[in-house]
Amino acid sequence: MHSLIVHMSSATRRRANVEVLLQTLPDAQVIEAVRGADAGVTPANGDIHQPHYPFPIGAGEVGCFLSHRACWQRIVDEDWEYALIAEDDLALDTSHWPHVQALIAGHATADSFIRIPAKDRETAAKVEASDGPCTLMLPRVIGLQTVFQVVGRNAAVRLLAVTDVLDRPVDTFLQMHWVHGQRVHTILPNGVRELTADLGGSTIQKKTRTSGKLMREINRWRYRRAVAAQPQT
């Protein structure tokens, strides 16, 4: 099993955690994160796919998406069956990690995309397997964030084929199984945490004016309702 850790070398406060991940994850290596402001990529305005994404995409979100695309491309180029992709603020609970590894080893294939999220917010459409306290399931609605996942070679090919142009952040794109055609599984509980606050905060979070917060929340609710209307089954 191979592991890719997405890390921007200039983010020095995260380097110590990267060293921990290099020692913890199997056959791990660092892949340089893309700086969105320097990437020369202009995202579309959220209307390539439906539902329409109602928010502008920031440079940090562009960089995050391109960093994950670089990992997908590495998996294809190396002809790995699958690999772990971790962001550099990942922390693992060692009591859960052996059970998560067992589920991956027993069920991951080249066609897999398995989320190992920090937030337990997904409900199962189907339970596939369990090991100790951890369960591999097909969630009805795919959750957000991309701190840790398993991506198979064939899954990477599918995702690369439909992301030449970006029109929303990577986690919201991954929710749209009806667009990319990839079944997305989840392991919960999993002992995963994000150390974002401890490591200097998010690199992609955007501030919203107080006057615009209400409309943003309304648009967010509408968008999430539209996504939830197309569950995995």
User: 67-71, 123-127, 173-177, 198-202: which has the minimum mean pLDDT?
Assistant: 198-202
User: 64-78, 159-173, 197-211: which has the minimum mean pLDDT?
Assistant: 197-211
Would you kindly state where each structural domain of the chain is located, as residue ranges?
2-228
Instruction: Name 24's Cβ contacts closer than 8 Å, sequence gap at least 6.
Output: 92, 97
Average pLDDT, integer, range 87-104: 96
What are the tokens at 26?
């199997």
DSSP 74-134: HHHHHT-SEEEEEETTEEE-TTTHHHHHHHHHHH--TT-EEE--SS----EEEEEEEETTE
How many percent of the chain have pLDDT more than 90?
Answer: 90
For residue 209, the model assigns a pLDDT of: 60
Confidence grade of residue 208 (pLDDT, cut at 50, 70, 90)? low
How, if at all, do strands 124-131 and 148-152 pair?
A: unpaired
Quickly tell me which residue has 């939830």 as its tokens. 228
| Whether the Cβ atoms of residue 115 and residue 84 lie closer than 8 Å to each other | no
For residue 3, the model assigns a pLDDT of: 98
Q: Which residue has the higher pLDDT, 132 or 201?
A: 132
Q: Which of 20, 58, 19, 23 is nearest to 41 (CA)?
A: 58
Query: Sheet containing 28-32: which strands, arranged edge to edge?
Result: 28-32, 2-7, 82-87, 148-152, 113-115, 185-188, 134-139, 124-131
Look up the CATH number of domain 2-228.
3.90.550
Average pLDDT, integer, range 155-160: 98
Is the pLDDT at 204 greater than 60, yes or no? no
Q: Give the Cα separation of 71 and 120 in Å (integer).
A: 25
For residue 213, the model assigns a pLDDT of: 86
| Whether the Cβ atoms of residue 169 and residue 70 lie closer than 8 Å to each other | no
| Whether the Cβ atoms of residue 105 and residue 187 lie closer than 8 Å to each other | no
Q: Give the Cα separation of 54 and 222 in Å (integer).
A: 9
Q: Give the Cα separation of 66 and 182 in Å (integer).
A: 19
Kindly report, residue by residue over 106-133, the tens digit of the pLDDT. Answer: 999 999 999 999 999 999 999 999 999 9
Q: Provide the β-strand partners of residue 188.
A: 135
For residue 200, the model assigns a pLDDT of: 64
Is the pLDDT at 230 greater than 60, yes or no? yes
How many percent of the chain have pLDDT more than 70?
Answer: 95
